[in-house]
Amino acid sequence: MNSPANPLRICCIGAGYVGGPTMAMIAKQCPDIQVTVVDLNQSRIDQWNSDVLPIYEPGLKEVVEEARGRNLSFSTDVEGGIRGANMIFISVNTPTKTHGLGAGRAANLEFVEKCARRIAECSQGHKIVVEKSTLPVRTAEAGKRILRSSSSGATFDVLSNPEFLAEGTAVSDLLAPDRVLIGGESSEAIEQLAQVYERWIPRQKILTTNLWSSELSKLTANAFLAQRVSSINAISALCEATGADVDEVAKAIGSDSRIGPKFLKASVGFGGSCFQKDILNLVYLCQHFGLSEVAMYWEQVVKMNDYQKQRFSTRIIRTMFHTVSDKQIAIWGFAFKKDTNDTRESAAIYVCRDLLEEGARLVVYDPRVSEKQIRHDLEDVFKDSSLEVSQRHKRLIETNVSIASDAYQASEHAHAIAVMTEWDEFKKLDMKRVYENMYRPAFVFDGRNILDEAVLAKIGFEVHGIGRSNKFTN
C-alpha cells in the first residue's frame, strides 16, 4: 500500500469534532494522499464544504481551506467513500446508552457496529480499518468478527488509534501531539499508519501497543485527567469553608514536579463529550469483570463533578438571599470550555436547569454557541425517564430564557452574573459599565475564576469565586 501502483487512499466515516479536524490535518500534511470524509448528516457535510464550518476550532478553517478541493473532500456517499479507500477510519459518536442494558454507563456502539457492517458489505480486496472513536476495551475484537463476515471475500486489519486532541486546541494538538498511539496485531498495518503520521510527527512519539492496551489507554488518560479536576474541585469546597484560596493551593502543589501544574484549575465542573462518558465506560467495564471496588473508585470522580455543579447553583441561590425567583441572571458562556462551540455535558446546562427550576430568568450569552443549540440543550436536560419534556418545562424555557448578543446586553438589569465558560473576551470587558446597568447588590459568581476579584470589589460587585471565600463583601 502507498506505492505508485497502489497509493494510500483514506476514507473517514464521521465528520464530527474528531473526524473533521484529524482528517483535515492528515490531508494538509500529506498532499499526495486522497482523504475523503463521509457522514450521513447532509447539513454537516454541506457546512464542511462551505465557508462556515460546522465546528469552531481556532486555526481549523485555514487547514481545511488549504487541503479542500486538492486532496480533501467531504461527502454523504458513505458507500462510495468506503469502496474508494484502502484505509478506513471509523470516527462516529459513541454516546452513553440512555436505555437498555448498561444504561447510563455503557457506550452505545450502534453507530460503530453499523459502520463495520457497512464496510463489510461494500469492500473488496484488503483494507485497514482504524478505530478512532473512543471505545470500550475489546470493541476491536467485535469489529473484527463483523468484518470477517464480509461476503465479498474482502480481508481486513483492524487498528486502534485513539485521538487525544482536546477541543479548542485541536489544530495545535494535531500538529504537535505528545504522542500518537497505534494498537494492533499486524505490524505491517501498524507501519502503514505510522508512516502517515511520521510525515510530521517524530517517530519516537509514535507508540505502538497491542489492541487492548491502546483502547484502554484512551479511557485511562481521560479518567486520570478528569480525576485531577475532580480532586482540585473537591479541595475547592474545603477552601470555601476554611478561607484558603484554591488557586494558591493549586499553584503550590503544582510546582511539585511530581504533581505538575496542568489540569489543576478549579471550576464549576468538567464537561465535554469525553470525560464523563469514558469514566462511566471504565466503571461499566470494571463491573463487568467483577471489580466493584475499582468501579466505585472511578465512579466517585463523576459524582464529585455532579456535586461541584450542584454546589455552584446552591451557592448562587443561598447568596442571593435564598431566592432567585423572578431575578435575572446573566449566564456568561455556555460551551463546556473556551474556544469551542461544543456544549456536550457543559456545566452551564446543569446550572441553568437548577436556576430555572427556582424560577430565575436567564439571559444567556456565548460567543460561539447558537440560540438553537442552547434551547435544545435546555430541553434535553429536562427530559424525564421516558425522554419527554413536560409542558411546564417547555414553557419555562420559552418564557424564562432569552439570548443576548453580547455580555453587556446579558447583564443589563441583571441581579447577578454567572461566569460559566472562561472565554478570553470576558476578561476584557468594561466592568464599570456592566456594574452601572445591574441591580444592587450586583453579584458575580465566577465559575472559572477568571475575573479579578479585587478590581471588581472596588467597583462595587460582590464576587464569589470557586474555592475562595468572599473577602470583599461591601
By annotation, the residues acting in catalysis are: 274
3-class state of residue 283 by DSSP: helix
d(CA 151, CA 119): 11
Strands 206-209 and 401-403: unpaired
Among the listed ranges 62-70, 109-117, 361-369, 429-437, the one in contact with ligand ADP (CB under 6 A) is 109-117
What gap in Å lies between CA 299 and CA 294, rounded to an integer? 9
- Which of ligand ADP, ligand UDX, none is residue 39 near (CB under 5 to 8 Å by kind)? ligand ADP
Residue 180: strand, helix, or coil: strand
| Residues between 268 and 287 that touch ligand UDX (CB under 6 A) | 270-272, 274-275
Quote the least distance from Cβ 150 to ligand UDX, whole Å: 31
| Residue 253 grid coordinates | 502543589
Should residue 19 be labelled a site residue for ligand UDX when binding is judged by CB under 6 A? no
Per CB under 6 A, does 244 bind ligand ADP?
no
How far apart CA 409 and CA 369 sit, in angstroms, is 16
| Residue 154 lies near ligand ADP (rule: CB under 6 A) | no
Which residues from 31-50 bind ligand ADP, rule CB under 6 A?
39-41, 44
Burial of 119-139, coded b for 16+ CB within 10 Å and e otherwise, reads: bbebbeeebbbbbbbbbbbeb
Residue whose C-alpha is closest to residue 113's, from 96, 85, 135, 128: 135
Which grid cell sits at 321? 438571599
For ligand ADP, which is the closer residue by CB, 34 or 133?
A: 133
Of the residues 29, 93, 343, 449, which one makes contact with ligand ADP according to CB under 6 A: 93
117 binds ligand ADP per the rule CB under 6 A? no
State which of residues 10, 12, 16, 411 lies at the interface with ligand ADP (CB under 6 A). 16
Nearer to ligand UDX, 117 or 311 (CB): 311
- Of the candidate spans 110-118, 180-188, 256-264, 390-398, the one that interacts with ligand ADP by CB under 6 A turns out to be 110-118
CB-hemisphere CA count at 13 Å for 412? 9
Decide if residue 334 touches ligand UDX (CB under 6 A).
Answer: no
Check residue 19 for interaction with ligand ADP (CB under 6 A): yes
Q: In angstroms, what is the minimal distance from the CB of 381 to ligand UDX? A: 16
Check binding of 337 to ligand UDX (CB under 6 A): yes
Question: Distance between terminal CA atoms of the chain?
Answer: 71
| Residue 93 contact, options ligand UDX, ligand ADP, none, Cβ 5-8 Å cut-off depending on partner type | ligand ADP
- Shortest approach of ligand UDX to residue 152 CB, angstroms? 34
Backbone angles phi, psi at 217, to 5 degrees: -60, -35
- Any contact of residue 263 with ligand UDX (CB under 6 A)? yes
Nearer of residues 15 and 456 to ligand ADP, judged by Cβ: 15
251 vs 433, which CB is nearer to ligand UDX?
A: 251
Longest Cα–Cα distance of the chain, Å, equals: 77
The answer to whether 448 touches 422, Cβ cutoff 8 Å, is yes
For residue 53, the tally of other CB atoms under 10 A from its CB is: 19
Give the chain's radius of gyration (CA, Å): 24
- Contact between 115 and ligand ADP by CB under 6 A: the answer reads yes
Cβ distance to ligand UDX smaller for residue 86 or 233:
233
* 3: Cβ contacts below 8 Å, ≥ 6 apart: none
- For residue 418, the partner it binds in ligand UDX, ligand ADP, none, with Cβ less than 5 to 8 A by kind, is none
**Closer to ligand ADP by Cβ: residue 13 or 120:** 13
* Binding partner selected for residue 377 from ligand ADP, ligand UDX, none, CB under the kind-specific 5 to 8 Å limit: none
Min dist. Cβ of residue 425 to ligand UDX (A): 16
Q: How far apart are CA 384 and CA 392, in angstroms?
A: 12
Distance, in Å, from the CA atom of 263 to the CA atom of 287, rounded to the nearest integer, reads 28
Which DSSP helix (H) or strand (E) runs through 240?
helix 211-242
412's CB contacts (< 8 A; 6+ apart) are 437, 438
Asked whether position 163 contacts ligand UDX by CB under 6 A, the answer is yes
Least distance to ligand UDX from the beta carbon of 132, Å?
Answer: 11
- C-alpha span between 361 and 327 (Å, rounded): 6
In the list 14, 162, 168, 333, the residue contacting ligand ADP (rule: CB under 6 A) is 14
Phi, psi of 324 (to 5 degrees): -120, 10
Out of ligand UDX, ligand ADP, none, which partner does residue 19 contact, by CB within 5 to 8 A per kind? ligand ADP
Smaller CB separation from ligand UDX, 179 or 458: 179
- Binding to ligand UDX by residue 107, rule CB under 6 A? no
* Rounded Cα–Cα distance for residues 170 and 25 (Å): 10
Pick from 65, 63, 74: nearest CA to 35: 74
Q: Under the rule (CB under 6 A), what is the footprint of ligand ADP?
A: 13-19, 39-41, 44, 78, 91-93, 111, 114-115, 133, 273
Q: Under the rule (CB under 6 A), what is the footprint of ligand UDX?
A: 163-167, 222, 225, 229, 263-265, 267, 270-272, 274-275, 336-337
